[in-house]
Amino acid sequence: MNARSAAARLSVRMSASSVQAERPVSDLAARRKREAQRRRLTVAGLRLGLGVAILAGWEITTRLGWVDAFFWSQPSAVAAKLWLWITQGTDLGPLWEQVLVTMEETVGGFVVGSILGVIFGVALGRSRLLSDVLGPYIKGANAIPRVVVGALFAVALGLDIRSKIATAAVLVFFVVFFNAFQGVREVDRNLIANARILGAGDRQLTTEILIPSALSWIVASLHTSFGLALVGAVVGELFGATAGLGELIYAAKNNFDTAGVFAGMALLAAMALVAEAFITALENRLIKWRPPVATETRI
């Protein structure tokens, strides 16, 4: 009832504004705006509905005993676990500390891996000799399932943050490296010729032409690589740690506490979503010179 009256009021206001609009152009614009708003509401509603349906299905099937709640937990237990962690802290200490530790490891690995990836990608993209010599080694290293280096780093660098940053950085490095390399290789020859005629030296060619040109490739890879950094940090924690969300999940697993495992997963997903928003903002800043992606046009 409440929602319906609100909708009625909304439509009244809208028809009033379209009556006020004298020119058909602004009328069309208003209609377009209204349609867009309606679509946003539909999408938001469907999203919410889907989430509720999944959680409700999960809860009901476990309550009815069709699915064993001991192995698969249930949303209410996961929520209770999260609430417990938030209010009373985890076995490892306050929850925010665990989140912060994992965040630090992820961001650290992401930054280190991205910087090294860009440096090596640009260097190899520029130098034929370097890429011919190092090419097979990099391809070989890339073929190794890289999470296993986490085991090595846990031994060599110890249980503190360094081993996790190293693991995350290795995962990030290859993605960013290949994109930076390809980006530099595919620079428009005309742009290079133009810059050279205009008087650009080698250094300016790199900073003003090659890197900006490769940037759209590199930035596109950052979305994937942040996820990998998170994987690296968590895997690093699984190989041995004293704090962090990965360690929290590991400890929950050892106690057959599946609600704890799911709660940790939910926190990781939330972290990834927040980071994704940051990266999209960064992308829009870094490559604002690109035409905006054409949205669907309807008449």
Partner 1 sequence: MTPAIELRGVTKRFLTPSGGVYTALRDLNMTVEPGEFCAVVGPTGCGKSTTLALISGLEPASEGEVDVFGSPVKGIADGIGYVFQADAVFPWKTVLENVAAGPRYRGVSNSDARERALDWISRVGLSGFEDRFPYQLSGGMRKRVALAQSLINGPRILLMDEPFSALDVQTRSLMENELLALWAASSASVVFVTHDLEEAISLSDRVFVITAGPGTVKSNYKVDLPRPRNVAEIRFQPRFAEIYEEIWKDLKDEVLVSYERQKRSGAA
Q: Which residues make up the interface to partner 1 (CB under 8 A)?
A: 188, 190-191, 193-201, 204, 208-209, 212-213, 215, 287-291
Measured from the CB atom, the residue of 196 and 223 that comes closer to partner 1 is 196
User: What minimum distance in Å lies between the beta carbon of 293 and partner 1?
Assistant: 12
Measured from the CB atom, the residue of 19 and 294 that comes closer to partner 1 is 294
User: What minimum distance in Å lies between the beta carbon of 202 and partner 1?
Assistant: 11
Measured from the CB atom, the residue of 84 and 200 that comes closer to partner 1 is 200
Measured from the CB atom, the residue of 147 and 215 that comes closer to partner 1 is 215
User: What minimum distance in Å lies between the beta carbon of 126 and partner 1?
Assistant: 18
User: What minimum distance in Å lies between the beta carbon of 64 and partner 1?
Assistant: 57
Q: Say how many C-beta atoms besides its own lie within 10 A of residue 260's C-beta.
A: 26
User: What minimum distance in Å lies between the beta carbon of 16 and partner 1?
Assistant: 36
Measured from the CB atom, the residue of 145 and 291 that comes closer to partner 1 is 291
User: What minimum distance in Å lies between the beta carbon of 5 and partner 1?
Assistant: 45
Measured from the CB atom, the residue of 151 and 191 that comes closer to partner 1 is 191
